[in-house]
Structure 1
Amino acid sequence: MFLNTVLAVALLLIATVDSKIVQYPRPSIYEKSAHFGLEVDGTDMYTVSYAGYDYVQLSMNEGSPTEFRIRTLDKKPITSYTITPQKLPIVAQVEGNELVFSVTKAHYLIVKINDKKQFVILADPSETDAPKSSGKGIYNVLEYGADKTGGSVTTGIQKAMDAAAKSPGSIVYVPPGLYTIGNLLLRDRTSLYLAGGSTLRFTGNPSDYKTLFTKSDLYPGTWWIQTEFDSTNVKVYGRGTIDGNGYNTRKKKFMADLLVPVGTKNFTCDGVLVRDSSFWAVPIIQAEEVTITNIKILNRFDVTQDDGIDVVESRKVRVKRAIAIGKDDSFSTKTWPYKTGTTVPYPNPPQPLSDAFFDDCLSWTDCYGYKVGQGVWEDQDTVTFQNSVVYTAAVGIGIDHKFGTATASHITFKDMDIERLHGNAHGQASWLTIFVEEVGSGAGPVKNVYVKNIKARAKGSRGGFIQGYSSSAMVSGVTFMNVLMGTSDKPAETLKEMNMLETKYSENINFVKP
């Protein structure tokens, strides 16, 4: 009997290692989707019900076909569907109440079936660097008293982090479970690993956190999980969840940035799921050499100013393979004034921003998909958004120079696909808008903008802007190449064809043939 048990366990372990599909336990505080089920290569996945859309998270091996089979739980036949990104070579077929397709690579997909809410599939490549839960250099939070039931505000994770920091290069390991925590300081040369099925949860109670700033049009706020100032080689990775409990936090007139690499160098984040932010989800503040990959930001549409990733006064930032969903901007860059509102806790005086690169991203927002601004208090130079998709937004791509007198220059949007547009963001409602405002903090120029290889399936309900504010705050040097409007396969050759109708204080607008 004992040998049979050992053999069964061994076979289970082998199957787990060899399996090409990895599903993650649904955290205990979440409900399963009432609308959708999903089988991946015959394995039923743990779906999650959410506000405005449902989702599922998994990992898979790449290179060979993997079958996805979405079923509607009301068992009504599927009569219509879309799969975003539309540019992917996904061929689906309907089998009654099931939508079936296969892929050879992991993708982030937004699926719309009939008149149901969207179903977001978050498939990542299989993990290759998951650490063991114990051993040399591993600090398992359970050994430091962390409560994995969520029943108390636990300090065990910070205790493990502080202990690990005494041995640079160590890993703090968070196993599956629910951990309700206060402020967490990520220490110098230390990694935080969130195993799939683990959830860090914000309490929503202001008294559990340090108030670091106050935003005049909102509330006091904090940085929930932040790096130590002047730190290097900090890493956050794994397939766990960082849950900001944002909707409930806002009800208590408080808010938090969730994951904040600040005043740090060589920061890496890979694979985590960030959800329900009460303010900016992942602001990268005065940092250098930052790499963010395989990140999934799932915010709500009933919480304002819940940006996805904001690069703020940082240098050499790489964001690759990311999805950001929420009411406010998905991906943006900003520079701000000294010790004012949200910048009070910044470690350094205002810094210029340079060399920010966003690649292979997916946006769903009520504001801008990809944006430079609104703050341009210090120069922003060499910002690139490429190979990315807008599921729907008020403005697809753009520059809004609203605050400050500094220059935004060498901004590139290339290989972008704008699928849908809806509503407006502060009056802007176009696939592209580039403009300068003056609202009491001065105005500055926008120079050298490159818009290349764009598929604007929707143009927006209002004309676009390429508009400066004055002769000293011009928009100059905008180059268009291979912009396809609507269903046309012929590149636009005029501003009118692109629905760019407002062009005051602009100069040197050029069209280059591909």
Structure 2
Amino acid sequence: MLLKTVAAVASLMIATVCGKVKSAHFGLKVDGTDMYTVSYARYDYVQLSMEEGKPTEFRIRTLDKKPITSFRITPQKLPISAKAQGNELVFSVKKAHYLIVKINDKKEFVILADPLEKDVPSPSGKNVFNVLNFGADATGATVTKGIQAAMDAAAKTPGSVVYVPPGLYSMGNLLLRNRTSLYLAGGSVLRFTGNPADYKTLFKKSDLHPGTWWIQTEFDSFDIKVYGRGTIDGNGRATRENKYMADLLVPAGTTNFRCDGVLVRDSSFWAVTPIQVTEATITNIKILNRFDVTQDDGIDVIESTKVRVRRAIAIGKDDSFSTKTWPADTGTTVPYPYAPRAQRDVFFDDCVAWSDTYGYKLGQGVHEDQEAITFQNGVVYDAAVGFGIDHKFGSATARRIAFKNMDVERLHGNAHGQAAWMTVYVQNTGRGVGPVRDVWVKNVRARARGSRPAFLQGYNASAMVSGVTLTNIRMGADGKRATSLKEMNILETNFSENIKVVN
């Protein structure tokens, strides 16, 4: 639903509310218009769209009406000037942002503001296949087959769009067909049932459960797009209770995949996994997972080439953003379309991470080379490790890795013994060791350094960490520039060489 305010002439979209409980903690008005705030696990959230370029006023109110005595807004680096007025926090922005707001001692409130949509298809336009015309059940009462039926029909006319109107759609596996687009209108929710009988089991993870790829691309396909302001809901906790799990959105064995604007939530396993993809662009994606479901990674890019992830937020217990390569026909890799591939030219830009493990990570799998991987302009709201390289499995090489313009705001706990703003290290778990070469860490604000020393550590003379350049690393609350590894709290440096600090 689109609302228009008079004061700021901003168009705003109410969050999808199908099956969602309204927040008991926060209300929000945007230019005087009330938004639907959603209650969720450990944090609440709101989703909306806004016109950019003009000031848009946000008024967050605490529903217990207690005065606001403390607050912080992430990303802290943004020039947002907020003020407390009784039980309201007020600020204005000209650009849409993904924000995490902490007020008093309450749970966090996540604001997911996107620019206005472009190129919205008509539900009855030419070459638009409305799922309601194919018998899709928009009430969620049955496991609908209408969306796949619409997709199969659209595939006969390359370039067609499958249109999902507002509603709740319980759905089995969905195969995205060659040269088709899936449009999820605001207010539409695709929901995983959590019942293993409704799905085709594709893999078994040895330390967890059997699983499936819920929404995946056709192999050897081209030009597939998933977009809109709708929600892909993995029903993760209930799925895990049924001893099952699913990757939610899986572009696999495809070329020129695009995803824009959707909200992905409550994953029972890795949420979004580009697997052996060539050229993919993922933008304006919002991944909201729980903290009581393990291994619920946000975006894992696997054995792919030319992948761009821009303007994203990923929240959950496990890694927010990561890259991996794996061996063939082992556990989760059984359904992969091709033999193992190297990973090259992967780029994460302007993302926000909140995790109990890593915010941004290369690894743990490095069974094939990973080269030219860049994480830049990233913010870590909170994590055990801000960012780094964990070469844990495999004997291939990680090289030409860059972390640029990163901001680590808070750290807590540890991830497999690591608890630092950055860590680069090689482990031996009996599944191979390999080198890490040519790493650039530049323009980093480590507001928190972590409870343990940072690592630049290889394993042996053939699995060294080498050629690491650290430039303009600012540590602590005062942002003092560090001039040595010691000032950066990098104390573990065995089997490392050619480490440079440049200021």
TM above 0.5, one fold? yes
- Alignment match of 2:335 (pick from 335, 338, 345): 345
Is 1:462 the counterpart of 2:452? The answer is yes
CA deviations on 1:182-214 (whole Å, 9 max, x unpaired) are 000000000000000000000000000000000
C-alpha distance in 2 between matches for 1:104 and 1:486: 29
Task: Indicate if the aligned counterparts of 1:481 and 1:491 stay in contact, CA closer than 8 A.
Answer: no
Task: Indicate if the aligned counterparts of 2:349 and 2:378 stay in contact, CA closer than 8 A.
Answer: yes
2:483 aligns with: 493
Amino acid at match of 1:54: D
Amino acid at match of 2:210: P
C-alpha distance in 2 between matches for 1:26 and 1:435: 42
Task: Indicate if the aligned counterparts of 2:409 and 2:446 stay in contact, CA closer than 8 A.
Answer: yes
- Alignment match of 2:89 (pick from 91, 94, 99): 99
Deviation at 1:22, TM superposition (A): 1.9
Amino acid at match of 1:264: T
1:383 aligns with: 373
1:273 aligns with: 263
Is 1:428 the counterpart of 2:418? The answer is yes
C-alpha distance in 2 between matches for 1:489 and 1:163: 57
Deviation at 1:23, TM superposition (A): 1.9
Amino acid at match of 1:24: I
5+ long unaligned stretches in structure 2: none
Task: Indicate if the aligned counterparts of 2:314 and 2:352 stay in contact, CA closer than 8 A.
Answer: yes
C-alpha distance in 1 between matches for 2:123 and 2:94: 30
C-alpha distance in 2 between matches for 1:465 and 1:415: 19
How many residue pairs match? The answer is 501
Is 1:188 the counterpart of 2:183? The answer is no
Deviation at 1:15, TM superposition (A): 8.1
Deviation at 1:19, TM superposition (A): 5.0
CA deviations on 1:31-74 (whole Å, 9 max, x unpaired) are 00000000000000011100000000000000010000000000
Deviation at 1:95, TM superposition (A): 0.7
The correspondence of residues 100-499 of structure 1 with structure 2, limited to 5 A, is 100-499=90-489
C-alpha distance in 1 between matches for 2:478 and 2:253: 46
CA deviations on 1:55-99 (whole Å, 9 max, x unpaired) are 000000000100000000000000000100000000001110000
C-alpha distance in 1 between matches for 2:348 and 2:16: 30
Amino acid at match of 1:442: G
C-alpha distance in 2 between matches for 1:231 and 1:30: 35
Deviation at 1:491, TM superposition (A): 2.1
SS of 1:143's partner is helix
C-alpha distance in 1 between matches for 2:403 and 2:190: 35
C-alpha distance in 1 between matches for 2:314 and 2:79: 22
Distance 1:412 1:14, change over 3 A: closer
Deviation at 1:21, TM superposition (A): 2.5
SS of 1:237's partner is strand
Task: Indicate if the aligned counterparts of 1:59 and 1:123 stay in contact, CA closer than 8 A.
Answer: yes
Q: TM-score, normalised by structure 2?
A: 0.98
Deviation at 1:251, TM superposition (A): 0.2
CA deviations on 1:117-158 (whole Å, 9 max, x unpaired) are 000000000001111111211000000000000000000000
Task: Indicate if the aligned counterparts of 1:174 and 1:198 stay in contact, CA closer than 8 A.
Answer: yes
CA deviations on 1:419-452 (whole Å, 9 max, x unpaired) are 0000000000000100000111110000000000
1:52 aligns with: 42
Deviation at 1:286, TM superposition (A): 0.2
Task: Indicate if the aligned counterparts of 1:225 and 1:260 stay in contact, CA closer than 8 A.
Answer: yes
Distance 1:99 1:224, change over 3 A: same
* Percent of aligned positions that are identical: 73
Amino acid at match of 1:288: T
Task: Indicate if the aligned counterparts of 2:352 and 2:380 stay in contact, CA closer than 8 A.
Answer: yes
Amino acid at match of 2:304: S
C-alpha distance in 2 between matches for 1:292 and 1:85: 21
C-alpha distance in 2 between matches for 1:446 and 1:28: 46
SS of 2:239's partner is helix
Distance 1:477 1:152, change over 3 A: same
Is 1:33 the counterpart of 2:23? The answer is yes
C-alpha distance in 1 between matches for 2:134 and 2:208: 37
Task: Indicate if the aligned counterparts of 2:51 and 2:116 stay in contact, CA closer than 8 A.
Answer: yes
5+ long unaligned stretches in structure 1: 1-11
Amino acid at match of 2:357: C
Deviation at 1:490, TM superposition (A): 3.9
